[in-house]
């Protein structure tokens, strides 16, 4: 038995099967829609984050899988919080993620039509102008356990309502003086159905329509009708809108075939669980606060879960899409392990990042048997044997090197197989060295290591038995100094929103560690956007904002899996 989908896209789906694809398969089989039309409906009042990426991957992915289309629609019905800057940022982020919309739409383009719809509702006796105060409306709405009571304005005549609504539009009333409400059911057990507000008066200019309007539709009114106008077939949103679906259906059923809205097919709303990711927050409000309170350096701070932040961090769009695919789509509230995201990032970078040598926390090593000034150019492959790419570069080797401080232990724990006093270790792509002396200053601090290298060990096993470890290094004279920004989880707690109150208390002091390190000189000839694996350390790339030809600044995108650190009981550092 082959479904429509299988015919269209037998393999390599963008969206793995879920409860929504099942609905679509059924709808297509029943011939309910000529094609699948979805939409991604951001409000331009903030930046997109990884949670939005899940929704974007779903909506655009479905359009791709079913050869349908996905519109980008800005839900710009609240002039007080929205701006063109956000529109541009959102468009850039979606494109960067690799998706293309069929049409760029704006709820604000429908304002006139939406107004007509509202008038139609009034004519049908299905909406009325209410003149209660905001507080009164709230009181009259009742509570979860008590039914609401009708406003004394609920029975205004159609003529009166029409007149009032027209005057609202004309600007005869101050902000908040009146609202338009749907006449549904004040006793409904569904709070959303207790005569929801459709329009409010807001004397504020809109970033697109300027001062053409002083009444603006609310989400509950604009959203379903925008879907209908655009011919959306499957309107996908998150779980918190489940109750709003009743309004959605009520409006679409009342107005389909009227005011230029197609009678059929009509759109239906489906809800899925939004993404929660460990050790971060994904609510616009909280993200804004992090920026405003200066806990991070901006929307594109590499610690932020925003698309802009991830992009600057160095995460690729492919990794984000792969992540979205791995976590799936369902209706159960959930919280995704950070490791899932990191694994997707590493899997992507593993085959695209050439390996180079860099040292984060330098410890000097002097090779006593290598004449000073003697420099050898070693040829080092960019790729390990298991990555099917070719290429190599020359790496200068000399008598003074830097190695990682972590790779030497005077008193090694058991299982440590890097450099120890009197011990040997392999220098990656180079020779085996032995540590002869440990030099310390008066205070007892480690200053340098004096070692001898074995010239017979280049590309060959050493005499006297194999060495256990291989460590990375950089020639002291040739290494290029670089600022290394080591990023870690933003919050200390998996669910920063769990406790009550201030999120900032659980911010991790280790979310950013800056060190001054060295990187091999070959990187100076590379394109700046190249992502590397600094061997044994992690994936890095130049910070696109702060790095310059004069000043190298690297961001750690993600560390390597480190089973030694895990065994030692430390996290990444």
Partner RNA sequence: UGCGGGGUGGUCUAAGGGAAUGACGCCCGGCUUUGGACCGGGAAACUCCAGGUUCGAGUCCUGGCCCCGCAGCCA
Looking at residues 59 to 98 of the shown chain, list those that interact with RNA (rule: CB under 7 A).
Answer: 75, 77-78, 81
Q: Check whether 54 is labelled as a binding-site residue.
A: yes
Q: Which helix (H) or strand (E) holds 252?
A: helix 245-255
From 63-71, 296-304, 324-332, 393-401, span contacting RNA (CB under 7 A): 324-332
Q: Is 452 among the residues that bind RNA (CB under 7 A)?
A: no
Answer whether 306's CB lies under 8 Å from 48's CB: yes
381-403 burial string, b = 16+ CB within 10 Å, else e? ebbeeebeeeeebebbbbbbbbb
Q: Which is nearer to RNA, 79 or 309 (CB)?
A: 79
In the bound complex, what is the minimum distance in angstroms from residue 393's beta carbon to RNA? 15
Tell me the closest approach of the beta carbon of residue 412 to RNA, in angstroms. 8
Task: Extract the tokens encoding 136.
Answer: 């009164």
Catalytic residue among 200, 284, 303, 313: 284
* Residue 52 binds RNA (CB under 7 A): no
Annotated binding-site residue? 217: no
Catalytic site includes residue 91: no
- Measured in Å, how far apart are the chain's first and last C-alpha atoms? 53
Please, which of residues 284-323 interact with RNA by CB under 7 A?
none
For RNA, which is the closer residue by CB, 81 or 374?
81
- Closer residue to RNA (CB): 44 or 231: 44
Nearest to 550 by CA among 528, 535, 533: 528
From candidates 15, 87, 137, 552, binder to RNA by CB under 7 A? 137
Looking at residue 519, the DSSP 8-state letter turns out to be E
> From CA 572, how far away is CA 566, in angstroms rounded?
8
Q: Which of 4, 43, 242, 483 is catalytic?
A: 43
Task: Give the position of tokens 């440990």.
Answer: 438
DSSP string across 443-464: T--EEEEEEEEEGGGTTSPPTT
Q: Identify the residue among 65, 69, 220, 301 touching RNA (CB under 7 A).
A: 220
Which residue, 183 or 301, has its beta carbon nearer to RNA?
183
- Supply 52's token pair: 């939005």
Pairing of the two strands 446-454 and 432-440: antiparallel
Nearer to RNA, 301 or 539 (CB): 539
Q: Is 138 annotated as a binding residue?
A: no
Three-class secondary structure assignment of 346-361: HHHHHCCCCEECEECC
293: left (phi > 0), else alpha (psi -120 to 50), else beta? alpha
Shortest separation between residue 169's beta carbon and RNA, angstroms: 14
- What SS3 state is found at 85? helix
In the residue annotation, 43 being an active-site residue is answered as yes
User: How far apart are the C-alpha atoms of 325 and 315, rounded to whole Å?
Assistant: 16
189 binds RNA (CB under 7 A): yes
Among 283, 452, 470, 508, binds RNA (CB under 7 A): 470
Minimum CB distance to RNA smaller for 114 or for 301: 114
Of residues 350-409, those binding RNA (CB under 7 A): 350, 355, 384, 386-387
> Residue 308 belongs to what H/E stretch?
helix 307-313
| Residue of 274, 289, 297, 450 marked active site | 274
Contact code string over 13-32 relative to RNA, x by CB under 7 A = ----xxx--x----------
DSSP-derived pairing of the beta strands 400-404 and 362-367: antiparallel
Q: Is 150 annotated as contributing to ligand binding?
A: no
Q: Is 302 annotated as a binding residue?
A: no
Residue 36 token pair: 């699948």
Q: Which part of the chain contacts RNA (CB under 7 A), choosing from 86-94, 116-124, 326-334, 476-484?
A: 326-334
- CA gap 148, 142 in Å, rounded: 4
Residues numbered 496-555 forming contacts with RNA, rule: CB under 7 A? 533, 535-536
By CB under 7 A, the residues from 330 to 349 that bind RNA are 330-337, 339-340, 342-343, 346-347
Phi, psi of 16 (to 5 degrees): -75, 150
Q: Which residues of 334-354 are buried (b: 16+ CB within 10 A; e: fewer)?
A: eebeeeebbbbbbebbeeebb
Our finding on whether 495 is near RNA (CB under 7 A) is no
Check the annotation: does 51 bind a ligand: yes
Identify which of residues 567 and 570 has a Cβ nearer to RNA in the complex.
567
Helix axes of 219-230 and 111-123: crossing angle, nearest 10 degrees: 110
Of these, 138, 157, 389, 548, which contacts RNA (CB under 7 A)? 138
Quick check: 176 binds RNA (CB under 7 A)? yes
Q: Which is nearer to RNA, 263 or 351 (CB)?
A: 351
Strand-pairing partners, residue 182, are 127
238 annotated as belonging to a binding site for a ligand: yes
Query: Rounded CA gap, 26 and 20, in Å?
Result: 10
Kindly identify the residues of this chain, within the stretch 227-286, that bind RNA according to CB under 7 A: 239-244, 271, 273
Binding residues: 43-45, 49-55, 75, 219, 238, 274-275, 282-284
Give the residue ranges of the annotated binding site for ATP: 43-45, 49-55, 238, 274-275, 282-284
Q: Give the active site residues.
A: 43, 274, 284
């Amino acid at each position: 038995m082959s479904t429509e989908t299988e015919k269209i896209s037998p393999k390599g789906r963008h969206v793995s099967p879920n409860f929504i694809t099942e609905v679509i398969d059924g709808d297509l089989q029943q011939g309910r829609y000529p094609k699948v039309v979805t939409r991604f409906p951001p409000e331009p009042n903030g930046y997109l984050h990884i949670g939005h990426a899940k929704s974007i991957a779903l909506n655009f992915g479905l359009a791709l899988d079913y050869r349908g289309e996905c519109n980008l629609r800005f839900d710009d019905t609240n002039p007080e919080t929205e701006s063109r800057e956000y529109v541009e940022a959102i468009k850039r982020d979606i494109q960067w993620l690799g998706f293309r919309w069929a049409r760029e739409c704006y709820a604000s383009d429908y304002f006139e039509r939406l107004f007509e719809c509202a008038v139609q509702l009034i004519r049908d006796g299905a909406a009325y102008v209410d003149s209660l105060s905001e507080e009164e409306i709230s009181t009259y709405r009742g509570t979860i356990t008590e039914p609401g009571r009708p406003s004394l304005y609920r029975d205004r005549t159609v003529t009166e309502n029409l007149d009032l609504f027209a005057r609202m539009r004309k600007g005869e009333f101050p902000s908040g003086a009146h609202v338009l409400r749907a006449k549904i059911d004040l006793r409904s057990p569904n709070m959303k159905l207790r005569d929801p507000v459709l329009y409010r008066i807001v004397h504020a200019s809109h970033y697109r329509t300027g001062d053409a309007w002083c009444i603006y539709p609310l989400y509950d009114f604009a959203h379903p009708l925008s879907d209908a106008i655009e011919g959306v077939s499957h309107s996908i949103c998150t779980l918190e809108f489940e109750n709003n679906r009743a309004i959605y259906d009520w409006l679409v059923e009342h107005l389909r075939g009227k005011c230029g809205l197609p009678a059929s097919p009509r759109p239906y709303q489906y809800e899925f669980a939004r993404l929660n990711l460990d050790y971060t927050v994904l609510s616009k409000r909280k993200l804004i606060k992090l920026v405003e309170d200066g806990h991070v350096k901006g929307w594109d701070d590499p610690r932020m879960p925003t698309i802009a932040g991830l992009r600057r961090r160095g995460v690729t769009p492919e990794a984000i899409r792969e992540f979205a695919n791995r976590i799936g789509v369902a209706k159960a509230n959930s919280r995704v392990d950070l490791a899932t995201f990191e694994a997707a990032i590493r899997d992507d970078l593993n085959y695209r990042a050439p390996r180079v040598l860099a040292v984060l926390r330098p410890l000097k090593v002097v090779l006593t048997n290598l004449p000073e000034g003697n420099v050898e150019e070693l040829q080092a492959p960019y790729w390990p044997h298991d990555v099917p790419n070719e290429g190599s570069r020359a790496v200068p080797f000399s008598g003074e090197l830097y190695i990682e401080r972590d790779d030497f232990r005077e008193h090694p724990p058991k299982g440590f197989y890097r450099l120890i006093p009197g011990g040997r270790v392999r220098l990656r792509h180079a020779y085996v060295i032995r540590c002869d002396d440990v030099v310390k200053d008066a205070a007892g601090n480690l200053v340098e290591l004096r070692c001898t290298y074995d010239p017979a060990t280049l590309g060959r096993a050493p005499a006297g038995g194999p060495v256990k470890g291989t460590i990375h290094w950089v020639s002291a004279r040739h290494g290029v100094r670089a600022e290394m920004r080591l990023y870690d989880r933003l919050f200390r707690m998996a669910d920063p929103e769990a406790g009550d109150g201030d999120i900032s208390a659980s911010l991790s002091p280790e979310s950013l560690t800056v060190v001054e390190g060295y990187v091999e000189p070959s990187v100076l000839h590379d394109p700046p956007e190249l992502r590397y694996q600094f061997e044994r350390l992690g994936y890095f790339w130049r910070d696109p904002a702060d790095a310059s030809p004069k000043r190298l600044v690297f961001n750690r995108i993600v560390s390597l899996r480190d089973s030694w650190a895990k065994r030692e009981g430390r996290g990444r550092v």
